[in-house]
Chains A and B, each alone.
Chain A
Amino acid sequence: MVYKYTQNNLLDFPEKYFYAAYDGKFFIKKWYENRKIPFSRMIDLGLNLKEIQLPDAFEGKNKSSIFLDTYLWILEKIKKLNTDNFVDRETENFLKKFEVRKKIYQVYENREFVVNDKCDGKDVMIYIFSGYLFALCYKKTSKLQFLNSCLKIMDIIVSYDQNVKNVNHPLFLYLLKKEFEYIRILGHQCLGEEVYENCLNSSIN
Chain B
Amino acid sequence: MKIVLIAALTERSKAYAQILRFLGIRLSEVVIYGTDKTNLLGVNSEGLFPRGGVHASNLFVPDFKEALQETVVNANWSYSIIDESDVNSEKLLEKIRKISPDMIIFSGYGGQIVKGPLLEFPLVHIHSGWVPEFKGSMTLFYEILQDGECAASAFLLNDKIDEGKIIKRKKYVVPHDINLDYVFDSIVRADLLKEVVLSFIKDKKFSFEEIEDQENLFMPYYIMHPLLKHLTLLKIGYEHD
Interface residues of A (CB under 8 A from B): 5, 16-25, 27-28, 31, 92, 95-96, 99-100, 143-145, 147-149, 151-152, 155, 183, 186-187, 190-191, 195, 199
Contacts and interface: CB of A to CB of B under 8 A. Distances in A.
A22 B233 contact: yes
A144 B143 CA distance: 10
B221 interface: yes
Contact of A148 (B181, B228, B239, B240): B228
Nearest to B239: A24
Given A21-B241, A22-B229, A144-B228, A191 B223 contact: no
Interface string B215-228: 00001111111111
B223 A22 contact: no
Contact of A22 (B142, B222, B225, B238): B238
Nearest to A25: B234
A183 B227 contact: yes
Contacts of A17: 223-226
Contact of B230 (A28, A95, A143, A144): A28
Nearest to B44: A19
Given A92-B219, A99-B223, A144-B146, A190 B181 contact: no
A94 B3 CA distance: 40
Query: Which of B221, B231, B240, B241 has the largest count of A CB atoms less than 10 A from its CB?
Result: B231
- Closest 7 pairs between A and B when the two form their complex, measured CB to CB: A99-B222, A20-B226, A190-B235, A151-B225, A27-B230, A17-B223, A190-B231
B148 to A, nearest CB: 9
B198 interface: no
B197 interface: no
Contacts of A155: 225
A20 B223 CA distance: 10
Contacts of B41: 18-19
Interface string B142-160: 1001100000000000000
Contacts of A28: 227, 230-231, 234
12 contacts: A16-B223, A24-B230, A25-B230, A145-B219, A145-B220, A145-B222, A151-B225, A151-B228, A190-B232, A190-B235, A191-B235, A199-B234
A137 B174 CA distance: 29
A25 B231 CA distance: 8
A89 B227 CA distance: 26
Contact of A27 (B227, B239, B241): B227
A145 B221 contact: yes
Given A21-B241, A190-B234, A151 B227 contact: yes
Given A19-B41, A143-B219, A191-B235, A148 B225 contact: yes
Contact of B240 (A22, A100, A187, A191): A22
Query: Which of B224, B225, B228 has the largest count of A CB atoms less than 10 A from its CB?
Result: B225
Contacts of A5: 226
Query: Which of A16, A19, A25, A143 has the largest count of B CB atoms less than 10 A from its CB?
Result: A19
Contacts of B228: 144, 147-148, 151, 186
